[in-house]
């Protein structure tokens, strides 16, 4: 697959001296879904804005579909669809007109069939003649997505698409993203919802204080950094962990009914077998056993916290 988006040494320092991006470089392949995670003010929106032409970068180069976003901005931008974080819509305009406007603005010929497809895809067809101000918050977000898709972009930027939307819309959006991916559309999304990145992204990037501190395949990242946990539920509570089990990395729940064991997911040892043997020898009666893997959220938090330690 070819690179659809290529960012090299992108930096942005605002006039007030604030450094929003510092030497960020990465590529995104055609049809790939990249999730950018990071705390508020990390530089995620500035990154998207710099690519889309809303912010003038201080340094660096961005190409979209091989076209430089500054020297060949017309061709580069015509490939991009942007769904902004804030709901920004003309309140008195009809849904269909605002979507038609977006298509025309990006230089595409009028095509109401295409607009109908997009509106139906987003369950907005019934609302096509409604004024924006008559719509709910979730519907308005759907309109923003419809506007971004009206000119059939090859790269879609979703800036915090799930902020303030209900579960149904979030699921619909994930399905839409999946459909777009199958059509070869490249998707870059920023999110606070780790489960979103976990559910739909191919790769995950983490931005902190304007720097890209990590960019990795989601599965590889979870395998590399994820820790597994075994929760051993006991039939009767205990006050302390027996001495024989002290060699294991265990901690006891407050009610004394659960022993938690954390271990490295990639480690291939027989520690669990040993632990269970020791529990048996210690005459502890197990009522249940549950394993879980640390989520992307936990990985993300550990990555963000590390540099400050």
Partner 1 sequence: MNFRSIRAIYIFEMSRFFRTLLQSFVSPVISTCLYFVVFGAAIGGRIDAVDGVSYGAFIVPGLIMFSVMTQAVSNASFGIYFPKFIGTIYEVLSAPVNFLEIVIGYVGAAASKALFIGLVILATSLFFVDIEIIHPFIMIFLLLVTCISFSLLGFILGIWANNFEQLQLVPLLIITPLVFLGGSFYSISMLPKFWQVVSLFNPVVYLISGFRWAFYNNSDVSITASLFAIIIFTVFCIFIIFLIFKTGWRLRP
Helix (H, G, I), strand (E, B) or coil at 154: coil
Q: Which of 137, 130, 201, 129 is nearest to 169 (CA)?
A: 137
Q: Retrieve residue 60's tokens.
A: 């660096």
Contact between 30 and partner 1 (CB under 8 A)? no
- Strand, helix or coil for residue 144: helix
Cβ-based nearer residue to partner 1, 141 or 147: 147
CB nearer to partner 1: give 122 or 304. 122
Contact between 100 and partner 1 by CB under 8 A: the answer reads: yes
Q: What does the alpha-carbon distance between residue 81 and residue 118 come to, in Å, rounded to a whole number? A: 13
Contact between residue 77 and residue 148 where contact means Cβ atoms under 8 Å apart: no
Instruction: Between 28 and 299, name the residue whose CB sits nearer to partner 1.
Output: 28
Q: Shortest CA distance to 28 belongs to which of 181, 221, 199?
A: 181
Entry field: residues in the chain: 309
47 and 10 Cβ atoms separated by less than 8 Å: yes
User: Among 96-104, 165-173, 221-229, 232-240, which window interacts with partner 1 (CB under 8 A)?
Assistant: 96-104
Q: Which helix (H) or strand (E) holds 112?
A: helix 112-121
Q: What are the residues facing 121 on neighbouring strands?
A: none
Print the binding letters for residues 40-79 with partner 1: x by CB under 8 A, - otherwise.
------------xxxxx----------------xxxxxx-
Piece in contact with partner 1 (CB under 8 A), picked from 25-33, 86-94, 175-183, 281-289: 86-94
Instruction: Assess 242 for contact with partner 1 (CB under 8 A).
Output: no
> Per CB under 8 A, which region of 36-44, 94-102, 163-171, 194-202 contacts partner 1?
94-102
DSSP for 120-136, written as a single string: HHTT-GGGTTSBGGGS-
Q: Which residue of 1, 23, 66, 86 would you call a contact of partner 1, by CB under 8 A?
A: 86
For partner 1, the closer CB: 140 or 228: 140
Query: Residue 186 in contact with residue 32, Cβ under 8 Å?
Result: yes
CB of 110 to partner 1, least distance (A): 8
Residue 164 contacts partner 1 per CB under 8 A: no
106 binds partner 1 (CB under 8 A): yes
Nearer to partner 1, 52 or 212 (CB): 52
DSSP H helices in 34-88: 44-52, 73-78
Is residue 167 within 8 Å of residue 138, measured between CB atoms?
no
Min dist. Cβ of residue 98 to partner 1 (A):
8
Nearest-approach distance from CB 87 to partner 1, in angstroms: 8
Sole binder of partner 1 in the list 34, 42, 47, 103 (CB under 8 A): 103
* Residues found near partner 1 in the complex (CB under 8 A): 14-15, 52-56, 73-78, 80, 82, 84, 86, 88-93, 97-98, 100-109, 147
């Amino acid at each position: 697959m070819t690179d659809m988006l290529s960012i090299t040494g992108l930096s942005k320092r605002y006039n007030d001296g604030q450094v929003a991006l510092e030497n960020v470089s990465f590529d995104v392949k055609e049809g790939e879904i990249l999730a950018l995670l990071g705390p508020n003010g990390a530089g995620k929106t500035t990154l998207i804005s710099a690519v889309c032409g809303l912010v003038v970068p201080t340094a660096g180069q961005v190409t979209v579909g091989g076209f430089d976003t500054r020297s060949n901005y017309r061709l580069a931008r015509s490939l991009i669809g942007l769904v902004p974080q804030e709901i920004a819509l003309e309140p008195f305009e009809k849904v269909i007109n605002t979507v038609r406007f977006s298509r025309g603005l990006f230089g595409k010929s009028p095509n109401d069939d295409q607009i109908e497809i997009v509106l139906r895809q987003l369950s907005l067809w019934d609302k096509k003649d409604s004024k924006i101000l008559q719509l709910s918050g979730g519907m308005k977000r759907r309109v923003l997505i419809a506007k971004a898709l009206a000119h059939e972009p090859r790269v879609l930027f979703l800036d915090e698409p799930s902020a303030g939307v209900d579960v149904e819309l979030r699921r619909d959006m994930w399905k839409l993203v999946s459909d777009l991916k199958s059509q070869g559309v490249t998707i870059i999304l920023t999110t606070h919802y780790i489960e979103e990145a976990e559910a739909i992204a191919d790769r995950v990037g983490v931005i902190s204080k304007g720097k890209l501190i990590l960019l990795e395949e989601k599965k590889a990242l979870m395998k590399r950094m994820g820790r597994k946990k075994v929760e051993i539920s006991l039939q009767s509570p205990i006050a302390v962990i027996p001495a024989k089990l002290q060699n294991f990395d265990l901690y006891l729940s407050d009610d004394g009914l659960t022993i938690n064991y954390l271990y490295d997911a990639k480690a291939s040892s027989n520690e669990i077998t040993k632990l269970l043997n020791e529990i048996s020898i210690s005459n502890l009666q197990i009522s249940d056993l549950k394993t879980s893997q640390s989520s992307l959220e936990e990985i993300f938090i550990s990555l963000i916290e590390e540099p400050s330690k």
